[in-house]
Amino acid sequence: MSAVKEIWCNLRDLPDNVLASVRRRGKATSDRARSQAIFANLFLHIHPTRTHLNTLRPSYTLGLGLASTFLFIILAATGIALMVYYKPSVTEAYNSIKDIHYVVPSGRFVRNIHRWSAHLMVLTVIGHMARVFYTSAYKKPREWNWVVGIGLLFCTFALSFTGYLLPWDQLAYWAMTIGANLTMASRELTDALGITSVFDPGGFFRSILIGSATLGEDALLRFYFLHCVLLPLLITVLIAVHFWRIRKDGGLSRLEEPEAGSPPSMHRGQPVFPRDPHKTYGLMALVRGTSPNVNRGPEHTVSSWPHLLYAELAVCAVCMLIVVALGIWVDAPLKEIANPAIPENPAKAPWYFLGLQELVSYSAFAGGMMIPAIVLLGLALIPYLDRENTSVGIWFDGPKGRSVVLASVVFSVCSIAVVLGCTVRFGWLRAWFPSIPQLVVTVVNPGTLYVVMFALWSLWTVKRYNSTRAGALALFTCFLVGFALLTYFATYHRGPNWNFYWWPSMWPTH
Ligand code: HEM
């Protein structure tokens, strides 16, 4: 063949040859080839080569873990693009954001996507935690992965929060002032005890976070470093540990019957899978040897290529669709440039901290430190306090699971409505007894009252059903409802000076 003809043939076969050199194998037509397509690929080999059918049920995971991961990737990609134009200095930050928004081609779109992905990620992570809890997926052997998840929850809040200051507009400045003041929550206690001059952890934490007495250059640089370097790195490492643990814990949770070989049965409308009697596959789930199981995958599994990948693609496509639609139609807010002399009234924290801000309005120490610490510790300890042998992998399982959840929703809604109504109508201790010691208000306020009421309700549930799972269901549900209701209340019913209004349109105009 002449050299010219050979070049022509090579050009004709170019696409096939390029694909073959990337794949290093032909088309995956057998189970073995499909397995190899997964584990021989740098990006895909975090997946198992075979996936259990239960993992692919959309009604089980709701795709929320993957959605959180994908939103984090979108945040990283758009964040890097924004870093090209953003300038982390008090004199330039606001104008650089304005440039991104109004001048840089596609800058507004990228900024919008970054902002809405951040809010969505907070939502999906909370939703994912709730799915893991309500399907008992935190139980043995996944206890430690639940704790890693709590670390991820904390870092997700911190990532979103530290990004809030960067535009350096009025909204950011005053929301961050509230956030920075939260670090000083312990001053309420040390002041009440009269020991602030010798022991002041609040002042110490505040100076570490913002570097000076007020928000300024030091604070902006610290938040920039936390937001763009430290927290993304930490989340990446934690996600790697999280995924590694999922594989080591035997894949996603599912309900398996102890007897092998029986056909799938149903439990409360959800499938129960029999154990696989033929564990002839190794770590890579490749079927080997000369036994009758050659070329047969483990029971109730399908090859991840392409089934799992299609499912993942669908979740990512839905996320992409939502953030792109939001990015096109809803602009990320940008107010006037930050002015430390003109406070926003009301100055409100980002929405996911508004519940906390409501609690802080009763007592800085209780709302800003004590209750968040109790909640975080309580969440992390759930798998170690509830070690009851309930069915893993079934929604709301546990003695009278669904009824306990429903009763807990009613209980928490009623108790929060009564206490909030009471504080709005009659005020709290300080209004009744103006000279009451602050220490009493710190210990007895609506926030601590909620904690005590929810704890008592949970203990009563444990006793009534003789089940720690029932108690955990009650407590977790009260926590979720409390978070949602307080966030709603602080968003729509708190106006200037943190006074109660039926609706934001009733706020006085200045
Ligand atoms: C940035 C935050 C997070 C990311 C990116 C993430 C990602 C994932 C993914 C992709 C899965 C597998 C698919 C799924 O279950 O949807 C998963 C499973 C799991 N996650 Fe997360 N997660 C995060 C936060 C959390 C939180 C807050 C918790 C709990 C406190 C948690 C606990 C777990 C557990 C225990 C599993 C195993 C579930 C099972 O076996 O059914 N994760 N996570």
User: What's the pLDDT score for residue 40?
Assistant: 82
Which of the residue ranges 24-38, 388-402, 468-482 has the most confident prediction, judged by mean pLDDT?
468-482
Do 441 and 447 meet the contact criterion of CB atoms below 8 Å apart?
A: no
Beta-carbon contacts of residue 502 (< 8 Å; ≥ 6 apart): 493
Beta-carbon contacts of residue 273 (< 8 Å; ≥ 6 apart): 52, 53, 54, 254, 255, 256, 257, 264, 299, 300
Beta-carbon contacts of residue 239 (< 8 Å; ≥ 6 apart): 69, 72, 152
Give the count of domains, the chain.
1
Q: Is residue 446 pLDDT above 90, yes or no? A: yes
Question: What confidence category does residue 279 fall into, taking pLDDT thresholds of 50, 70 and 90?
Answer: very low
Nearest ligand 1 atom, CA 246: 37
- What would you measure as the largest C-alpha separation in the chain, in angstroms? 103
* Overall average pLDDT of the 150-170 stretch: 96
In a domain, 238, yes or no: yes
Question: How far is the centre of ligand 1, averaged over its atoms, from the C-alpha of 279 (Å)?
Answer: 26
Closest by CA to 132, choosing from 119, 122, 147, is 147
Question: What confidence category does residue 254 fall into, taking pLDDT thresholds of 50, 70 and 90?
Answer: confident
In a domain, 256, yes or no: yes
In a domain, 369, yes or no: no
Q: What is the pTM of this model?
A: 0.91
Spell out the SS3 assignment of 67-85. Answer: HHHHHHHHHHHHHHHHHCC
Do 30 and 303 meet the contact criterion of CB atoms below 8 Å apart?
A: no
In a domain, 34, yes or no: no
Question: How far is the centre of ligand 1, averaged over its atoms, from the C-alpha of 184 (Å)?
Answer: 32
Q: Residue 61 belongs to a domain with what CATH number?
A: 1.20.810.10
**287 — phi, psi (to 5°)?**
-85, 125
- Report residue 121 as tokens: 């990620």
* Overall average pLDDT of the 227-250 stretch: 96
The CA–CA distances, whole Å, from 256 to 253, 260, 274, 299 equal 9, 9, 5, 12
State the residue range of the domain holding 244.
49-165+215-285+296-330
Question: What confidence category does residue 280 fall into, taking pLDDT thresholds of 50, 70 and 90?
Answer: very low
CA distance 228 to 222: 10
Radius of gyration of the chain from Cα atoms?
27
Question: How far is the centre of ligand 1, averaged over its atoms, from the C-alpha of 439 (Å)?
Answer: 40
- Report residue 288 as tokens: 């080997």
Question: Atom 14, ligand 1: which residue's CA is nearest?
Answer: 65
Question: How far is the centre of ligand 1, averaged over its atoms, from the C-alpha of 231 (Å)?
Answer: 18
Would the CB of 428 count as within 6 Å of ligand 1?
A: no
In a domain, 259, yes or no: yes
Would the CB of 383 count as within 6 Å of ligand 1?
A: no
Q: In a mutational test of the pocket of ligand 1, which residue from 246, 249, 375, 483 has the highest number of ligand atoms less than 8 Å from its CB?
A: 246
Would the CB of 124 count as within 6 Å of ligand 1?
A: no
In a domain, 17, yes or no: no
Q: Name the E strands within 173-324.
A: 256-260, 265-267, 270-275, 301-303
Question: Atom 12, ligand 1: which residue's CA is nearest?
Answer: 65
Q: Is residue 46 pLDDT above 80, yes or no? A: yes
Would the CB of 150 count as within 6 Å of ligand 1?
A: yes
Question: How far is the centre of ligand 1, averaged over its atoms, from the C-alpha of 142 (Å)?
Answer: 10
CA distance 465 to 473: 12
- Report residue 414 as tokens: 């009623």
In a domain, 320, yes or no: yes
CA distance 347 to 301: 53
Do 150 and 133 meet the contact criterion of CB atoms below 8 Å apart?
A: no
In a domain, 451, yes or no: no
* Overall average pLDDT of the 175-186 stretch: 85
Nearest ligand 1 atom, CA 64: 16
